[in-house]
Structure 1
């Protein structure tokens, strides 16, 4: 019995040893398969990551290209707007000159007709003069002298009249020429506006995939807008609510493919200069100056610029949009934060082409003016703040396209 138990134990031990020897290779084989699977997944993930990084670099290149092209087209548009405005002013001056010359010609013609009428009643020879005044030789001589003196004066007036007619003809030709130039400039401007719309549509298409990510930020900003009592208060609240920037490598990281390319910081962002000049945001004429009395003890904290209909608005300097939307009685406004403690406030748009959080470089288009339905011209309000306090923007913008008269 004892021996039989020993045999059983020995057989059991051998069986277990055999099983273990057989299971060892199976376990190793299974582990090897799992390792292969993990390595395949890792390789696939690395490949996907490389593809994403390549896509991110491609998007970054595309947004840089679009940014540079929109800046170039916006500059051409503003130059064209300035040219059109200049041509229109020249046309006004030429038409005023034409009206004055026509009035002068009318007066000279009337005077010449009167003189010729008087002379037509006078004899044309001395003999006939003496015949008219037989008893008064002195009167006859005086009339003959007047006749001789009148002839050169009449010739002089006729020459002046001829010169005025020639000048009027030249003015008419100038007006025709300016009208042709104006038509060509307006046609080119229309093409540039269409090109700008196409470029902005491309930027929007690239950024559409990340739109949902902005909803939370937009809700937070809307809450700040509802609580802000003034532009100063709004800028202060936006500054406090802004997250602190994380340290980045030089040149900034490549954007993630799902990130809104408009929110990617440019490679170079310049500090706003403490002294001008910077680029003017619009082509136009100042109709309300900084510090101008508004009544009720209030003064203008910015300038109001009268512009052309559909005028292009651009960023005056590098910076980031910290607010885009309607605000109280200011209508649709943009607030651009510039490095160095400056903010630019722009108000009066018909539409904007930027979003909150978007980075900009100087000259990049941000929106356009509208077309007043009741005639007149649209007006853009421009305010510049340094450390939250308004300063005269014309100390920076007068080197550009904003004209100051008076």
Structure 2
């Protein structure tokens, strides 16, 4: 519970609220609710659901913190450059203020042109003084803001590190809870021999998916419901932005019928609808792959994960975890917490019958 409290403290702190705003507050509320669920979870399925919510809340909270840190760093850079550009003007201003700050000697009050010149110069100083004072106040405010921004970044970086440790522990707990889970419905039992033969006999994802639909079909005890009405409304399985659309060539010039999402390291991947696990494991050059059947003749293919969850044949409720994205070997604040960009990619393909569909026809996304 302490790891949740540490992140919650940062998200609701006044300094952070200035940079992350309402998103941070909502993330804090979600994290608190998830931690309560986790504390009250009794059986393995409850813990899987609670840990899934907790990890999602951590992801939202950490994203809000990263946004706040980036905003603070950008503002500090702007102010530093502004102050550097005004260096000469500031030096002159400080010199004038210093000369005005002391008590004037009798000789300083005597103008070369006599009493009239003295009066006129006094009037000029009186007119200029408010402007000088305003410049001095603006300068003081800028310097104080730079100092405050540096304090915010130092404190947030420490809390961010604690938050990262918390989410890593939650991921470990989730893996154990999934291993302990025994009450999921089972549509069919995997035939590992037939699966291995299919893998060895196919050279493409299309061929594998086509043969996969035949495995376990005779053992099916429950038909999957249709998701036809969800076209364009299916949530993405992971937090991320679209990096490449269907048919866009990658760096090697290879065009595939799926989309590529840029995600955070270690991001949680979930099934967007209720679905049967048709396959999970290594496949061809796709890395670790999970293939879900949310509806008859429809397959969701997710590739590029570092860890996959569940057993082939299990029927998962919507929102169930199916895997985690990779994390660098030596994760640091820069790689997972403080970096400006997303560093991992998830490949998503949708197949209906024997043909690929554009995933953006199915999934609700702003397309990056």
Common fold: TM-score over 0.5: yes
Q: Structure 1 residue 156: deviation in Å?
A: 1.1
Written as runs of structure 1 = structure 2, the 5 A alignment for 1:54-133 is 66-108=44-86, 110-117=88-95, 131-132=111-112
| 1:377 aligns with one of 343, 350, 362 | 343
* 2:190 pairs with 1:224: no
| 2:146 aligns with one of 168, 171, 177 | 168
Q: Is contact 2:178-2:310 (8 Å) kept?
A: no
How many residues are matched?
Answer: 310
Written as runs of structure 1 = structure 2, the 5 A alignment for 1:248-327 is 270-274=225-229, 275-294=231-250, 299-327=255-283
Q: Structure 1 residue 78: deviation in Å?
A: 2.0
Change in CA separation of 1:324 and 1:147 when aligned onto 2, cut-off 3 Å: same
Q: Is contact 2:288-2:306 (8 Å) kept?
A: yes
Change in CA separation of 1:284 and 1:101 when aligned onto 2, cut-off 3 Å: same
* 2:355 pairs with 1:355: no
Q: What is the CA–CA distance in structure 2 between the aligned matches of 1:297 and 1:161, rounded to whole Å?
A: 53
Name stretches of at least 5 consecutive residues in structure 2 with no aligned partner: 1-41, 336-341
Q: What is the CA–CA distance in structure 1 between the aligned matches of 2:76 and 2:135, rounded to whole Å?
A: 20
Q: Structure 1 residue 91: deviation in Å?
A: 0.6
* 2:347 pairs with 1:392: no
Q: Is contact 2:232-2:360 (8 Å) kept?
A: no
**RMSD of the alignment, in Å?**
3.8
Q: Is contact 1:67-1:364 (8 Å) kept?
A: no
Report the secondary structure of 2:266's partner residue. Answer: coil
Q: Is contact 1:279-1:362 (8 Å) kept?
A: no
Q: Structure 1 residue 192: deviation in Å?
A: 2.1
Q: Is contact 1:108-1:161 (8 Å) kept?
A: no
Name stretches of at least 5 consecutive residues in structure 1 with no aligned partner: 1-63, 208-212, 249-264
Q: Structure 1 residue 94: deviation in Å?
A: 0.8
Q: Structure 1 residue 348: deviation in Å?
A: 0.9
Q: Structure 1 residue 349: deviation in Å?
A: 1.6
Q: What is the CA–CA distance in structure 1 between the aligned matches of 2:84 and 2:68, rounded to whole Å?
A: 24
Task: Specify the alignment match of 2:31 in structure 1.
Answer: none
Q: What is the CA–CA distance in structure 1 between the aligned matches of 2:106 and 2:299, rounded to whole Å?
A: 89
1:176-234 CA deviation, whole Å, 9 max, x = no partner?
Answer: 55446534533442342232122123138x99xxxxx85xx212112112222321221
Report the secondary structure of 2:301's partner residue. Answer: strand
- Relative to its length, the structure with more helix (as a share) is 1
* 2:322 pairs with 1:366: yes
* 2:292 pairs with 1:343: no
Higher mean Cα deviation, 162-171 or 364-373? 162-171
Please give the TM-score of this superposition, normalised by the length of structure 1: 0.64
Please give the TM-score of this superposition, normalised by the length of structure 2: 0.69
Change in CA separation of 1:170 and 1:237 when aligned onto 2, cut-off 3 Å: same
* Higher-Rg member (1/2): 1
